[in-house]
Structure 1
Amino acid sequence: MPQQQRMSRLTLDLDRQQHRKLKAWSQQAAENVGLVDVPMAVVLRWLVATLTMEPDDDEYSLLAREIQRAVLEHLRDPEALAQNRS
């Protein structure tokens, strides 16, 4: 029997508006793909996987590069970064 991958828990505090928007997006995504529900955790896991892709990964794409670029650009803005620290 293959060994199960151990998961790590991450706690993320969102303000109410961010939470509502993510929940609404997840619900809309579920409707778009014909599912009853798309858990927000699934969306966030995919975003983390995309953000942490290396250029030599087979699935690395323009989308991954753009997400990484956008996050780095945001991190270069000290004001925006200070607003998002918990």
Structure 2
Amino acid sequence: RDVFTWTAMVSGYVQNRMVEEARGLFDKMPERNEVSWNAMLAGYVQGERMEMAKELFDVMPFRNVSTWNTMITGYAQCGDVSEAKNLFDKMP
């Protein structure tokens, strides 16, 4: 098992809206990369669990354009345009 296999499993759970199962697997991963973190973040955003998404975002060691876009889109879709704009303004 490698990071790609673990990430594929996390993504599979996320795609099937099994976010708790995805998080359980994510927490057990021996190694994570940007794709792993973004897959888990996307799961929270797709499930409109922005508090959990924000908690994960705050501890992410990697943030790329996809990470920021996922969060901004999530806030906008939940109607929190103010927080979406706030994050947009903070983007590097």
Task: Compute the TM-score of the two structures, normalised by the length of structure 1.
Answer: 0.32
The structure, 1 or 2, with the larger RCO (C-alpha pairs under 8 Å, 6+ apart) is 2
